[in-house]
Amino acid sequence: MKLLLPCAFVGGLLFHAASVQAANEQKDTTPWKITGQLEEACSCDAACPCWFNSKPTKMTCGGGQVLFIEKGNYGDVKLDGLALATMGQSPEGKTMMESYGNWNFAYYYIDEKANPNQRKALEAIAGAVLTPGVSKKTQTRYAPITRKIEGKEHQITIGQYGTFHGHLVEGGMGGAPKIVNPPGADPLHHQYEQGRTTKMTYNDADQNWSWSNSNYMLGTFSVDNVQYEKFAAGLAQKMAGTEAEKAPGKK
């Protein structure tokens, strides 16, 4: 998924959200960079087909992404040791990409231990990299975001709202399977390792999820505002070409 999620989430349509944002507010030029680990899980069977613009294995894809920042900054604001997350759900019977902007909901969670300046910084970064503009139903909450690793099992908790436990699966030639540059990839999801959940629950946004043996993903990231600006510019060029191909009279 496009967790979490995303579910996990479709980075390939961030341009749509960037266009809407640019039309309504002055562009944020604050430089930022974050390095850390991505934890992601969703309701789809592994591996989540949403990253390949295919329909989810259930009627919807519901899940989330959690970014654990090892080192980061937003301008002069340090973000080391903080976390941010998103949880969302696609509409029934549609791919994540075709339904972008019309997801059932997309809620954002900011590490409650962040101070006011850090919270603003994390919210700004979340708005740039975690499915911005994906849904009209959105909220931002502050909650403890924690991770406990016991052997191969990663246990992620987002306050009182949700949790998922996941582990990597063994590839046929050894090691964990890796997915590199899927069609829906953004800089966060250029490469990730594939696993399955042991359990996943979520009780916010009028939801009551409880499932297991679903999609789980683990990745590392080192991303910054320059990467996402280039990513958005490249998408704009691709989308302009696609629209030109659809224009009346185009053969």
Rounded CA gap, 93 and 98, in Å?
10
Q: Give whole-number Cα distances, 25 to 22, 115, 214, 226, in Å.
A: 6, 25, 39, 19
Question: Phi and psi dihedrals of 249, rounded to 5?
Answer: 85, -10
3-class state of residue 116 by DSSP: helix
> Checking phi first, is residue 70 left (phi over 0); if not, alpha (psi -120 to 50) or beta?
alpha
Q: Which residues of the chain have pLDDT under 50?
A: 2-25
Distance, first Cα to last Cα, the chain: 36
Helix 14-24 to helix 116-129 angle, to the nearest 10 degrees?
Answer: 120
CB 121 within 8 A of CB 75: yes
Beta bridge partners of 160: none
pLDDT value at residue 47: 95
pLDDT value at residue 66: 98
What's the whole-model pTM score?
0.87
CB 42 within 8 A of CB 48: yes
Q: What is the mean pLDDT of the chain?
A: 88
Rounded CA gap, 107 and 158, in Å?
12
pLDDT tens by residue, 154-190: 999 999 999 999 999 999 999 999 999 998 899 999 9
pLDDT value at residue 7: 41
